[in-house]
Each structure stands twice: as structure tokens, then as C-alpha cells.
Amino acid sequence: MSSCNTPGSTEARVIVLSGPSGSGKSTVVSRLLERSPVKLCKAVSATTRPPRVNEVNGRDYYFLSPAEFEARRAAGEFLECAEVFGAGYWYGTLKSELRRSHDICAWAFLEIDVQGALKVMEAYPDAVSIFLLTSSKEDYEQRLRARGTESDELIRRRLETAKKELQYVDRYKHRVVNDNLDQAVEQISQILATREAELNAG
């Protein structure tokens, strides 16, 4: 039971953002967290992937060993979890992260892959779902190479996954093209402001 003084169900205040690797999800999320028109709480996912330089446990991800991840999965702690990119790394949304967001009367912001997003949309049909993409397919590779955090082999896997993920764009309520970062952030801000107004109007 939520104690938030906001109309509409807190369950409706869930945002799912997906998009191919390199589409700019992390960049867009950090900008939104600074200047969103609604209160947002980023759900911190758990993963078995090793941390990148500058990534902090508990802020960027909960970095778990495969055994720890499996134990928590078996205990039913995940809303959804999936092996992403076929590289043997698991990612998952902990149910406790949604509770954490709603306990502070914020929208839960999930940045997750398509497999996970489809499961969340089933569990939360009122969720705002957004697919982030670029207008040119070449941009993904260019951006991943410029980011410089993955090997050639991992970039190849990510681009293959991107092709499959792009087939699911119509399952999302909104599609946002991130060719220009400011415009993409503004468009998502407007989607959230409009939805918040609808919920407040009952």
C-alpha cells in the first residue's frame, strides 16, 4: 500500500526504456535523472557482467557472481531476468527496486533489454514503454566504437542483437530517435509530463 499523495496507481508509474546497444540509453537516462518533469528513481539492475572502469556497485549495477545471481533468481527476487547478447552475462530487475522507487513516491525507471521489457509490460500493462533508436543503423557501431568499452567480438554480438531488437519497436508505446541528445531527452520529458497529467486527472 503506497502512502504517496498522488492520484492513480503507483503501479502505473513505471517506465521501461529499451533500444539497441549504442542508441544512447545510459546517456539519456543520466540526463533525465537531472531534469525530468516527474520524480524518477532509476531501478538498479543486477548483472553478472564485470564492472567497467568508473562503474560503481549499487549505483550502476549490483554486480553479482553467477552463483549469487542464480540464488536470488531461485528465491524469486527478480521481476525479470535474461541472458543478454549471448555472451553468458545475466541481467535482471529486482522486485525490491520497484518497491524502493514507489516507497519514495517516484516513477521506477527501468533501462532493460527487449526480452525483459516484454515481461515487464505484461506485469505492468500501464507502464510507459519507450524504444530508443537512431535514424541510421551505422550510428550504433560508430557510437560503440567511440565509447571504447567493448572488444570487437562483443561489439559484433551487440550489433547482431540490435538487429533482432529493432524488430520489436512496435511493441512499445513510444519510439524516440536519439540523433540529437537534447531533442531526445526533451521528447521523453514530454511523454512523462503528459502521462503524469493523465494520471493526476484520474
- Which residues are near ligand ADP by CB under 6 A? 19, 21-27, 143, 146-147, 178-181
Q: How is residue 172 annotated by DSSP?
A: S
Shortest Å, Cβ 152 to ligand ADP: 16
Cell reading at 175 = 519510439
| Half-sphere exposure at residue 30, Cβ-oriented, CA atoms within 13 angstroms | 5
Q: Nearest Cα to 138, choosing from 123, 155, 120, 115?
A: 155
Q: Does 157 bind ligand 5GP (CB under 6 A)?
A: no
Q: Does 36 bind ligand 5GP (CB under 6 A)?
A: no
Q: Does 91 bind ligand 5GP (CB under 6 A)?
A: yes
Among 112, 118, 128, 130, binds ligand 5GP (CB under 6 A): 112
Could you tell me which residues are beta bridge partners of residue 90? Answer: 83
Distances (CA, A) of 115 to 1, 37, 103, 106, 180: 29, 28, 26, 24, 27
Q: Does 101 bind ligand 5GP (CB under 6 A)?
A: no
- Cβ distance to ligand 5GP smaller for residue 55 or 103: 55
- Cβ distance to ligand 5GP smaller for residue 38 or 69: 69
Q: Nearest Cα to 18, choosing from 199, 185, 166?
A: 166
Shortest Å, Cβ 71 to ligand ADP: 28
Neighbours of 170 (CB within 10 A): 7
Shortest Å, Cβ 64 to ligand ADP: 20
Number of residues in the chain: 202
- Cβ distance to ligand ADP smaller for residue 21 or 93: 21
Please report, as ranges, the residues that interact with ligand 5GP according to CB under 6 A: 18, 21, 45, 49, 80, 82, 84, 91-93, 111-113, 115-116
